[in-house]
Amino acid sequence: MLEILNRNAERWALLLFYTLLVVTMAVEVIRREVFHFSSIWGEEIVRYAFIYLVWIGAASAVRERAHIRIDVLFNYVGARTKAALYLFGDLVMLGVACLAVWWSFETLAVSWKFDSVSHGLRVSMVWFLAAVPIGFALMIFRLVQSLIRDARDLAQGRPPFEGERLFD
């Protein structure tokens, strides 16, 4: 069960938020064009679904090693150097992600303290602002997995996991 969750958690979350975004946007377009009426809550749902989609997608990209990188150097080095470079990059990204989680909690705390709510949905902004620490926490989890995998590959002399290339 944990292996299935590990492999597909982000995919299902991405599917959920993408479906919510598309359906809400379609309903709002129909309401605006056919009934000449739109709602403020539809725009907010689309905006916040997109924010969650981005942060969860970023964590998924870290897992698949599909995030944007300049990899021309990787074409000219051996497998061990490549693994070391991936380890270094993941460690730097891990540091940035830890700082981002730490700093994003301040924004969350202020929103919680003053009980701020969204304009259209009248829902606590904490739920929407939580996308940042949730996304970075998922990234931290995936980076730790990547670091373990890369360290194991480096120790056993295997080539590092490079992910799928979008363009070749």
Q: What is the pLDDT of residues 41-60, one digit of tens each?
A: 888 999 999 999 999 999 98
The verdict on residue 163 lying in a domain is no
Name the domain count of the chain.
1
Give the domain range for residue 86. 2-156
Nearest to 91 by CA among 158, 132, 138, 151: 151
List Cβ neighbours of 104 (8 Å cut-off, separation of 6 or more): 129, 132, 133, 136
60-111 tens-digit pLDDT: 888 888 877 777 788 888 888 888 888 999 999 999 999 999 999 999 999 9
The verdict on residue 161 lying in a domain is no
d(CA 55, CA 69): 18
Which pLDDT does position 95 carry in this prediction? Answer: 97
Which pLDDT does position 114 carry in this prediction? Answer: 94
The verdict on residue 53 lying in a domain is yes
112-163 tens-digit pLDDT: 999 999 888 888 999 999 999 999 999 999 999 999 999 998 888 888 888 7
The verdict on residue 119 lying in a domain is yes
The verdict on residue 9 lying in a domain is yes
Residue 115: exposed, middle, or buried by beta-carbon count in 10 A (0-12, 13-18, 19+)? exposed
Within 10 A of 146 (CB to CB), how many other CB atoms are there? 24
Reported pTM? 0.84
Measured in Å, how far apart are the chain's first and last C-alpha atoms? 35
The verdict on residue 64 lying in a domain is yes
The verdict on residue 166 lying in a domain is no
